Amino acid sequence: MKQHHKVSNILILATFLLLIWATSCQKSGFVTFDDLPVVEAYLVPGEKIQVKISQKAPYEDNTPDYMPDVNTLEIFVIYATREYQLTLRGDGVYIDSSGTIPVITDSTYLLRFVYNGNPVTSSTIIPSKPQSVAQSVTSITMEQFDPDDPPGTSMPDPVEITFSNADDSYYFVTVECMDSVLIPVIKDSIPSNDMFSSQPVTGTEIDIQPMMIRYFGKNRIILYHINPEYSIFFQQQANTSQNYQEPPTNIENGLGIFTGINADTLFLDVIQE
């Protein structure tokens, strides 16, 4: 399976994070606007490195007199003591256009640039690809669930995704239907998000409940191995009461995330009875 599907899923998951970072402020009252860049970068083996830079949104009358242009920055990634400058693609997105920066498991990467006169830095490693990955079944059969007329039969057992995890690192899965015509598992439903995502775990098993699957048909399951800096953002999503306070970040003199990710892909046929 091509890696860009994994990157697309990650970007979908990260949308709410970007909103948290971009609007981070206290719930009420005037505060001095702290002009910090918002960084969003996910380094995946086999993919060109891409870094998106955006800006916090000013509140009311606290807009600064000057905010740097995110399209005029010099963005550098350092790997194995060599420094690479990324190329502007537009809208604050900088990429390794030539694909010369190798993204390799267990390697360390550094990010650096200057924003509004301040050095902005971060670092991450690329986690290993998930190992010993297995699923309990490759297909399940169930009725379409009608909230007004629940089916009399029981639901299938959860789909178990297992993997090795000797160092108790973080894993999560996403489930997304690949069919062009989408038939919802819940009758007449229009899911706000077409993709199901589990919470990160540090164990060796993730159970996918059938009712968590959005659509019948051929579904792609992606198991992600992530770093601790990424897992904390899922906790931020769960604790919405903190969304207006200082969000978590691994960016020095900035907000957002610069992190490595690795993944493996499985498939599940969800058959309508």
CATH code for position 64: 2.60.40
Token pair belonging to 157: 């057992």
The answer to whether residues 38 and 18 touch, using CB atoms and an 8 Å cutoff, is yes
SS3 98: coil
Domain-embedded: residue 233: no
pTM exceeds cut of 0.95? no
Domain-embedded: residue 81: yes
pLDDT in tens, the chain (273 residues): 444 556 666 655 555 455 555 555 444 444 555 789 999 999 999 999 999 999 876 555 555 566 789 999 999 999 999 999 999 999 999 999 999 999 999 999 999 999 999 999 999 999 999 999 999 999 999 999 888 877 666 889 999 999 999 999 999 999 999 999 999 999 988 888 889 999 999 999 999 999 999 999 999 999 999 999 998 877 665 554 444 456 789 999 999 999 999 999 999 999 998
Q: Which residues pair with 260 in a beta bridge?
A: 43
Which residues span the domain enclosing 44? 4-126+251-260
Overall number of domains in the chain: 2
Amino acid identity for residue 7 in this structure: V
User: What is the Cα–Cα distance from 100 to 83, expressed in whole angstroms?
Assistant: 11
The answer to whether residues 257 and 215 touch, using CB atoms and an 8 Å cutoff, is no
Domain-embedded: residue 146: yes
The answer to whether residues 240 and 107 touch, using CB atoms and an 8 Å cutoff, is no
Residues 35 and 100 grouped into a single domain: yes
Residues 90 and 47 grouped into a single domain: yes
**Helices (H), ranges, 23-146:** none
Residues 71 and 167 grouped into a single domain: no
Domain-embedded: residue 231: no
Domain-embedded: residue 242: no
User: What is the Cα–Cα distance from 87 to 94, expressed in whole angstroms?
Assistant: 5
Residues 81 and 142 grouped into a single domain: no
Residues 119 and 143 grouped into a single domain: no
What confidence score (pLDDT) does residue 98 get?
Answer: 92
